[in-house]
């Protein structure tokens, strides 16, 4: 099989990517409720609430690690955002644009390695770049009225750190755990389990 054919999406790729996206769309909606409920807990330093951000970015990295095809990260993050909007996200339809920005970040990391490396450093980079996409969007859209040094910059940095750890490292660990169960045997990620 040549490299061009290996980049084609199979039916199982579409189904699994869609299942990941829909499942995380529900998680996104619920996580939004948790985010709002934790406002008071972060009153001491409001930008610190961004430590929770990484959960919203997991599907982009997870899909890239499992599906290993161009567009997987972008597709999953965007569809998850659409599902959360349809479920009634308190941020409404703008989350779809956020999902696009976040998915592009992870997609760039996998593309930088030509969709051929899916090791921990690439997963961490994908997490960091999806966090950067999220941070940029929030910086110019949600947080534009806040002070630059006391809120916007710390919030952006904490978002990137959360994404790196939770979405990058976390999705890599989740992929390994799923592979070890055998559910990913139809994917290269499942065949890598003996290497872990």
The CATH number for 176's domain is 1.10.1760
pLDDT at residue 170 is higher than 90: yes
pLDDT score for 152: 97
193: pLDDT strictly greater than 70:
no
**pLDDT at residue 5 in the model:** 63
Give per-residue pLDDT as tens, 115-166: 999 999 999 999 999 999 999 999 999 999 999 999 999 999 999 999 999 9
Q: What is the distance between the terminal CA atoms of the chain, rounded to a whole angstrom?
A: 25
**Which stretch of 1-15, 32-46, 87-101, 156-170 has the lowest confidence by average pLDDT?**
1-15
What's the confidence (pLDDT) of residue 191?
A: 82
pTM over 0.75: yes
Residue 1 in any domain: the answer is: no
Q: State the pLDDT at residue 192.
A: 75
pLDDT at 173: 98
Has residue 67 been placed in a domain? yes
What is the tens place of the pLDDT at every residue in 110-122? 999 999 999 999 9
Average pLDDT rounded to a whole number, residues 7-20: 96
Provide mean pLDDT across the span 158-182: 97
The pLDDT confidence band at residue 2, using thresholds 50, 70 and 90, is: very low
Q: What's the domain range around 153?
A: 11-190
Tally of domains within the chain: 1
35 alpha-carbon distance from chain centroid: 17
CB 28 within 8 A of CB 81: yes
Reported confidence tier of residue 38, pLDDT bands at 50, 70, 90: very high
Q: Per the domain annotation, does 129 fall within a domain? A: yes
CA distance 54 to 189: 22
Contact 171, 123 (CB under 8 A): yes
In a domain, 90, yes or no: yes
Structure token pair of residue 185: 């045997």
Residue 6 lies in a domain: no
- Other C-beta atoms closer than 10 Å to the C-beta of 67 total 26
Position 2 in a domain:
no
Q: How distant is the alpha carbon of residue 98 from its chain centre?
A: 11
Alpha carbon 85 to chain centroid, angstroms: 16
Query: Which pLDDT belongs to residue 41?
Result: 97
Residue 196 has pLDDT above 60, yes or no: no
Predicted confidence (pLDDT) per residue in 52-99, tens digit = 999 999 999 999 999 999 999 999 999 999 999 999 999 999 999 999
CB atoms within 10 A of CB 153: 16
């Amino acid at each position: 099989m040549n490299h061009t054919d290996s980049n084609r999406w199979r039916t199982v790729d579409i189904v699994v990517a869609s299942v990941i996206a829909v499942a995380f769309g529900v998680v996104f909606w619920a996580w939004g409720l948790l985010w709002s409920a934790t406002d008071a807990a972060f009153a001491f330093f409001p930008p610190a609430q961004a430590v929770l951000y990484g959960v919203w970015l997991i599907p982009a990295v997870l899909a890239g690690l499992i599906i290993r095809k161009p567009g997987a990260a972008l597709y999953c993050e965007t569809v998850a955002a659409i599902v959360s909007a349809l479920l009634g996200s308190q941020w409404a339809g703008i989350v779809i644009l956020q999902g696009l920005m976040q998915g592009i970040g992870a997609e760039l990391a996998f593309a930088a390695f030509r969709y051929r490396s899916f090791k921990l450093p690439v997963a961490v980079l994908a997490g960091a770049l999806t966090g950067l996409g999220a941070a940029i969007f929030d910086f110019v859209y949600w947080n534009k009225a806040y002070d630059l040094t006391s809120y916007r910059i710390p919030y952006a940095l904490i978002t990137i750190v959360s994404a790196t750890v939770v979405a990058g490292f976390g999705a890599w660990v989740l992929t390994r755990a799923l592979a070890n169960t055998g559910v990913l045997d139809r994917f290269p990620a499942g065949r890598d389990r003996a290497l872990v």
